A and B are shown apart, each in its own frame.
Chain A
């Protein structure tokens, strides 16, 4: 009887514990990824991307920054983003600061994974947020799917223009002749290195070209330590794209109607990656294995997104972990970059008050993107990048010049689908399941072309009704 009672109590405690753990907003545990071809903030530690609850709005009208039209009372805005990684809390702080400075506009932020599925289902139930972050390579797709609406008016209203941003990242927001998004940040690929291991091998500075890179990687590949880790999963496609552009190629032709990543530059790029894996790395690593290996101190260098900065450098690691711009291995300087763009999702009942409030919030984010850059992002705004405060932020300031050489895919709907086969070919070669690089890339380009053609018939030339 005692055992019975004891096990019953234990059961109740367990169940109560489980139910308590089930509380909370949209939390995400474990590694997260966006759709194939899009970028992700892959994490190694579970991070809860929660909501930033709105603080109680003060009674009555005056705002510290930006003014709502006179006939607008307190406004509550929904703001969605996919920042479930280590960078999420930084955006939360920025949102809290805005809420504190603007008592009559309160913004509720929600970070979630499977982001585009969430946006799609919200669009279907007409419950899209007021402001949403969209990756640069998804803007065209979301615009054509009626998830976003044109913001040409808003742009002139808040006073931003082409000259405020680098040309490629501004261009990513233009779809079918209309503007759908404003760039918030650019997050390029970065070379992370273990300074302790490098100096132990007698190297005092991070490599900036192929020769220095080879020297460093070779010196570091000894015993259990590897000079450079690269995986067959995420970020291998982005590394391929970086090298492809550096060797003079590109993924698609200019108007996005044909795949061109199976060119000679592409074969060279994938060959480079395969060689580096054989000489300095471990074969066939899974996604995030290079991050785990680097954090454990067993790797000299690795390439990943700048968003990993708070995860693999500074206080996060026991050794001296640092990041620098991706070296120029090829003839041209180029680096893969993603960009988070600010958009206004479609609303069935657009309210001028909410639109005005959203404009004020967007302007605030742009002007204060220095706060966001502490998460490891590089502000898209030229003014913020050139400011003294940003220049003092390392290593972001050191990496910032490389965003001038960032490239983005054509603003064509469904372009990330067409990047899918390319990623699969890269994965197969890096994992060793395919060995003929040219054949793999050719076959992938064929499938990519098919997808591009299907998308063209499917989507047409302009979003419907706009």
Chain B
């Protein structure tokens, strides 16, 4: 019966159990814990502190405690911040709604296609993943050129076909099309790779058993693939929602630095850009910090709901 690697002579005669607590795991996570505390933990609490003050980091002499006043003015319709904050938050929520389904369904479709034995699938995998390696500025600039209303690639062909030239970057709803298309092109690859890895983890015998039982492809998909992918889907959806909430670069660069429809209070201004303007252009970091906390709370709620609805029902 003995399966332990080594026999401890004392273990069998002692009355109680001896537990050895190893500190090795803690040493492994210590470096990350230090970095986390320094770059995420401390700023979090300092940001909370800042949100209760009138704060300008270059004017410490003007700093004063204002309690919940920064939060209150975000809920007070008469203040200047109210309109800007809630309209930009609405814009970001719209973007989340438009982009997350696309960023889950499309990569899933691509992953399913790449999970077959077609020749050259590695090349396709590289092609679909490649945009994700670009920085946001490069990806946005590419699409800025493509969506130019006067002479951009898309409008050039639309014009040639006699379909007019929509203002992709200066009118709505075209602005959303431009930003969502650019974002999906840019980040679908990442979700695709993760889903592909998860697909390859699904045991083949499940599909074999299903085909023996006479299941159609669609039934195999909904009864085997999706349930087996559930934990990965939770992860993908959560990270994609969080990333979409952090929308900043694409509308900023594609409107030449937050001009036109991405101006203050504009229909394409995401909440992160509004927070940036509040903190670094208007230099009222207390108010910007309060905005960040409200957005963060909202993201926590959304993530929690995501987990609750999608988790395994054991």
Is B150 in the interface zone, CB < 8 Å from A? yes
Taking CB atoms, residues of chain A closer than 8 Å to B263 are: 36, 233, 420, 423-424, 427
A25 interfacial by beta-carbon distance below 8 Å = no
Question: Does B58 lie within 8 Å of A292, measured CB to CB?
Answer: no
* A231:B257 contact, CB within 8 angstroms: no
How distant is A412 from chain B, measured CB to nearest CB, in Å? 14
A33 in contact (CB, < 8 A)? yes
Complex CA distance for A284 and B122, rounded to whole angstroms: 44
A residues near B255, Cβ cutoff 8 Å: 233, 286-287
Name the one of B56, B257, B277 contacting A40, with C-beta atoms under 8 angstroms: B257
B102 within 8 A of partner (CB)? no
Bound Cα distance A459, B167 (Å): 41
Q: Is the Cβ of A286 less than 8 Å from the Cβ of B253?
A: no
* CB-CB under 8 A for A29 and B141, given A36-B277, A234-B259, A431-B261: yes
Closest to A123 in B: B58
Task: Check B170–A458 contact: CB distance below 8 A.
Answer: no
- 1/0 per residue, CB under 8 A from A, across B235-279: the answer is 000000000000000000101111111011111000000000100
B contact residues around A427 at 8 Å (CB): 259-261, 263, 266
Q: Is A317 an interface residue (CB 8 A)?
A: no
Determine the chain A residues whose CB is within 8 A of the CB of B54 once the complex forms. Answer: 458
Across the interface, do B170 and A120 meet the contact criterion of CB distance under 8 Å? no
Interface stretch (choices A59-67, A261-269, A362-370, A447-455): A447-455
B interface footprint on A408-425 (CB within 8 Å = 1, 0 otherwise)? 000000101100110110
> In the assembled complex, how far is the CB of residue A228 from the closest CB belonging to chain B, in whole angstroms?
14
**CB-based contact A287/B281 at 8 Å:** no
Consensus secondary structure, chain B interface: loop
Q: Are A146 and B58 in contact (CB under 8 A)?
A: yes
Task: Check if A285 is an interface residue, CB within 8 A of chain B.
Answer: yes
**Chain B residues in 8 Å Cβ range of A276:** none
Distance between Cα atoms of A439 and B67 in the complex (Å)? 35
When each residue 389-420 of chain A gets 1 if its CB lies under 8 Å from chain B and 0 otherwise, what string results? 00000000000000000000000001011001
Q: Does A465 belong to the interface (CB within 8 Å)?
A: yes
- A36 to B281 Cα, complex, angstroms: 8
Contact (Cβ within 8 A) A33 B171: no
CB closest residue in chain A, given B147 = A286
B-side contacts of A116, CB under 8 Å: 280-281
- Determine the chain B residues whose CB is within 8 A of the CB of A124 once the complex forms: 57-58
**B282:A464 contact, CB within 8 angstroms:** no
Chain B residues whose C-beta falls within 8 Å of the C-beta of A296 in the assembled complex:
150-151
Taking CB atoms and an 8 Å cut-off, the chain A residues in 1-50 that contact chain B are: 3, 7, 18, 29-33, 35-36, 40, 42, 46
Residue B38 lies at the interface, judged by CB distance under 8 Å to chain A: no
Q: From residue B152, how far is it (CB to closest CB) to chain A in Å? A: 9
Interface size class, chain B: 35 or more
- One of A147, A431, A465 near B171 (C-beta < 8 A): A431
In whole angstroms, what is the CA distance A146 to B283 when docked? 13
Contact A145 B122 (CB under 8 A): no
Closest beta carbon of chain B to A432's beta carbon, Å:
8
Main secondary structure of the interface of A (DSSP, over half): loop
Contact across chains for B256 and A417 when beta carbons are under 8 A apart? no
Question: Taking the complex as formed, is B18 at the interface, i.e. its CB lies under 8 A from any CB of chain A?
Answer: no
B138 touches A233 (CB 8 A): no
**A287 adjacent to B62 (CB under 8 Å):** no
Decide if A433 is an interface residue (CB 8 Å cutoff): yes
Whether B58 lies near A36 (C-beta < 8 A) is no
Of B79, B140, B263, B284, which is in contact with the most chain A CB atoms at under 10 Å from its CB? B263
Which positions 187-207 of chain A face chain B at CB distance < 8 Å?
A: none
**Is A293 an interface residue, CB under 8 A from the partner?**
yes
Digit string of A437-466 for contact with B (CB within 8 Å is 1, else 0)?
000000000010011001000111000110
Residues of chain A within 8 A of B137, CB atoms compared: 29-30
Q: Is A289 on the interface with B (CB-CB < 8 A)?
A: yes
Q: How far is the CA of A3 from the CA of B79 in the complex (A)?
A: 63
Q: Which residues of B contact A35 (CB under 8 A)?
A: 277, 280-281
Interface centre among A288, A298, A460 (most CB of B within 10 A): A288
A285 adjacent to B150 (CB under 8 Å): yes
Shortest CB distance A313–B (Å): 19
Instruction: Name the distance in Å between A255's Cβ and chain B's nearest Cβ.
Output: 21
Whether the pair A46, B141 counts as a contact (CB closer than 8 A) is: yes
A460 contacts across to B, CB distance below 8 A: 62
Contact B170 A146 (CB under 8 A): no
Q: Considering only CB atoms, which chain B residue lies closest to A459 in the complex?
A: B62
Distance from A197 Cβ to chain B, minimum over Cβ atoms (Å): 16
Residue among B255, B259, B281 facing the most chain A CB atoms (10 A cut-off): B259
Indicate if the CB atoms of A285 and B170 lie closer than 8 Å.
Answer: yes
**B283 A30 Cβ-Cβ under 8 A:** no
When the two chains form their complex, are residues B150 and A33 in contact, meaning their CB atoms are under 8 A apart?
no
A-B contact pairs, 11 of them (CB 8 A): A33-B256, A42-B256, A145-B58, A231-B260, A233-B170, A233-B255, A286-B169, A293-B150, A431-B260, A454-B80, A465-B61
Known: A287-B257, A288-B256. 14 other contacts (CB 8 A): A18-B133, A32-B257, A120-B58, A145-B58, A233-B263, A283-B167, A285-B150, A286-B169, A289-B148, A292-B151, A296-B150, A423-B263, A460-B62, A464-B61
**8 A-B pairs with the lowest CB-CB distances in the bound complex, closest first:** A33-B257, A286-B170, A233-B259, A233-B260, A287-B256, A31-B256, A287-B259, A286-B169
